[in-house]
Amino acid sequence: MRKLLTGAVNNASQHIDKILLWKNTFQKHTNGDVILVSLNTTIKDEEALERNGIRYVKETTDGSETINNARIFHMGNFIKSIENDYDVVMYTDVFDVAFLKDPFENLDLYNYSIFIAGEGVTHGEEPWNADVMKKCYPNTKGRYNLKEVFCSGVMAGKPRELSNWVQDIWLTLLKSQKGHDIADQAAMNINVYNQGYPSLKKLFIYDKWCIHLATGGPTQFFEQWGFKQAIERKYKTVPKWNEFAIVHQFNRIPDIHKEIKKLNE
């Protein structure tokens, strides 16, 4: 099976250690390729990427959207451009994602074409996501308060279906009100719940595929904002980060960040 990991960043030269951690932990567990989409690439970025053996393609944003939002457009196009070269693609955030196992190993690619991971809490239980949804899509009027939050920072699938999925997120993002500079996750969750994607597989904490530690780990908000209690009500237990194939947002918890960094030593 031809596998690819990709993600989009700017200022690559300032974050080489993070990019190498992302790349190296992936290739430790799978024989796939890694290609970075480098946005607004400088000469320093090129030198740093080439010096460290990181494959990349260059794209330029037009400034109409924040980098966080603009990457969706470029990633949709990039995944489409390689759809005949790979059987399965993983698109993730780069600076705060590490791999502890082969992330493709247990994906049901026979029955599904797109895979996303829940955060363990609903929009109504998570103030940040609820605020973004309210500001960017005020007409939703709390419609997703009882719906689990799915994170736009980690997704995988067959290239054609995944590129269509990412491009649809971009189209939904373009309809947002400019109330917040990060709208991609709210846009994705609207698409998750519009019932238009029969090949979409929602993975949850008990699937042990991806843990999003902003809500699923012991940050300063874990108990203060009720995430721990919400996860315990739903899953009867608090997840252990090192049981997952993918660890996201590890840099928000100093002890876990220290452990993850050792993986690249």
Lowest-confidence segment of 12-16, 46-50, 62-66, 80-84 by average pLDDT: 62-66
User: How far, in Å, CA of 252 to CA of 241, rounded?
Assistant: 13
Q: What would the pLDDT profile of 72-98 be if each residue is shown by its tens digit?
A: 999 999 999 999 999 999 999 999 999
Share of the chain above pLDDT 90, in %: 95
Q: What would the pLDDT profile of 184-243 be if each residue is shown by its tens digit?
A: 999 999 999 997 899 999 999 999 999 999 999 999 999 999 999 999 999 988 999 999
Q: What is the pLDDT of residue 240?
A: 95
- Asked if the model's pLDDT at residue 265 lies above 80, the reply is no
Place of tokens 């899509």: 137
User: How far, in Å, CA of 47 to CA of 27, rounded?
Assistant: 22
User: How far, in Å, CA of 94 to CA of 18, rounded?
Assistant: 7
Mean pLDDT of the chain: 96
Side by side, the strands of the sheet bearing 33-39 are 56-59, 33-39, 3-10, 88-92, 148-157, 114-122, 200-203
Q: Is pTM beyond 0.75 here?
A: yes
Both structure tokens of 169: 């997120």
Q: Which sign does the torsion angle of CA 240, 243, 248, 252 carry? A: positive
Q: What would the pLDDT profile of 140-169 be if each residue is shown by its tens digit?
A: 999 999 999 999 999 999 999 999 999 999
Q: Which sign does the torsion angle of CA 102, 34, 219, 117 carry? A: negative
Q: What is the pLDDT of residue 31?
A: 94
- Structural domains in the chain, sorted by start: 3-264 (3.90.550.10)
| Crossing angle of the two packed helices 184-192 and 127-136, in degrees rounded to 10 | 90
Q: What is the pLDDT of residue 263?
A: 87
Side by side, the strands of the sheet bearing 97-99 are 97-99, 246-248, 210-212
Contacts 24+ apart (CB under 8 A), 166-169: 166/72, 166/75, 166/76, 166/79, 166/91, 167/76, 167/77, 167/80, 169/72, 169/76
